[in-house]
Amino acid sequence: MTMKDAGLIPVTIKTVDVNGVGNMSLHLVAQQGSRLPAYLPGAHIDVFIPQLGARQYSLCSEHNDGEYYEICVKLAEPSTGGSHFIHHHFAPGDHLTISAPRNHFPLPQAGRYLLFAGGIGITPLLAMAEKITQQQIEFELHYYLSDTEKAAFLPRLTRPALAQHVFLHDSSANDSLRHNTPLSLCHPEENTQVLACGPDGFIERLKDIMRTHHWQENQLSFERFSNTNLNNETDSQPFHIQLGSGGPRYLVGPRQTIAEVLLSAGVDIMLSCEQGICGSCITDVIDGIPDHRDCVLTEEEKAENTQITLCCSRAKSPVLILDL
């Protein structure tokens, strides 16, 4: 993984705690004793793991004023190594490097909210729910797990101000989105925003339900764990990228990414997840038509064709001129 040095933050692990079954919560504080950058619910950071590079985790701190950052990491099976390393090697007092917060999953303005969390997808939505509670806006938080006894953040979710809005769903007892649709999803309302975070199948099922009950597409915002667009069979034709209006031009082959070509040419770019899910490599497009394969940009942003994710998207036009 490669990333510009600008904006990287040295932190120390203050605490490591078990948070439900199979989950570990870490509190991170700035090494110099200063406050970390403030952020809004929905933001995430990159955590740089020795020998493995960057991994993205949503910020779920109870307070987002920068006194500390909290992340919650599920031990994934199978794992690319990040969660396994964190669970088995990270300890209080360890020094880490993280990125500044980025937010491509912000909480939109609405008169009412429906939040849907699949497993560890609770992390950004918990922070949103606590913010909505402070604003005294009506909402529901539906939290789906394979076993509700494994739930993370139960002490926070069961506090009086939040508990009345929280619904725990045990999929092992056939209480999943596939088997039961919450009544609130059956009755769309114009002033309601639906937010979701979870696995691909969970997100797709929610989208199907919303289409069935005639919700508008712009009423849903979501964040995935992975990018299914990377697994499609879309034909990948070669194309050229150009840096600025009169800069050098490079060929991107069928099996190359724009990011790989730029890095090989010594161009300094921001790169993190390499899956089109974190947004760190979003770059402005001066001319040309991108072939968007990310799941960060909204459909409206993709239609404008003024931005592209360098790690996974390609080009429909012979040349893309990038603002680099």
Number of domains present in the structure of the chain: 3
Over residues 277-307, the pLDDT tens digits come to 777 789 999 999 999 988 788 888 899 999 9
What are the tens digits of pLDDT across the range 66-94?
A: 899 999 999 987 666 889 999 999 999 99
Tens digits of per-residue pLDDT, 42-59?
999 999 998 888 888 999
> Would you say residue 114 has pLDDT above 70?
yes
Q: What is the residue range of 144's domain? A: 112-224
pTM as predicted: 0.79
Q: What is the pLDDT of residue 148?
A: 77
Residue 17 lies inside a defined structural domain of this protein: yes
**Which of 193, 224, 255 is at the close of a domain?**
224
pLDDT confidence band for 227 (50 / 70 / 90): low
Whether residue 2 lies inside any domain: the answer is: no
With bands split at pLDDT 50, 70 and 90, how would you rate the model's confidence at 38?
very high
Q: Let me know if residue 133 belongs to a domain.
A: yes
* Mean pLDDT for all residues in the chain: 89
Spatial distance between the Cα atoms of 125 and 206, rounded to a whole number of angstroms: 15
As a whole number, mean pLDDT of residues 218-239 equals 75
We report the CATH number of the domain holding residue 196 as 3.40.50.80
pLDDT at 2: 40
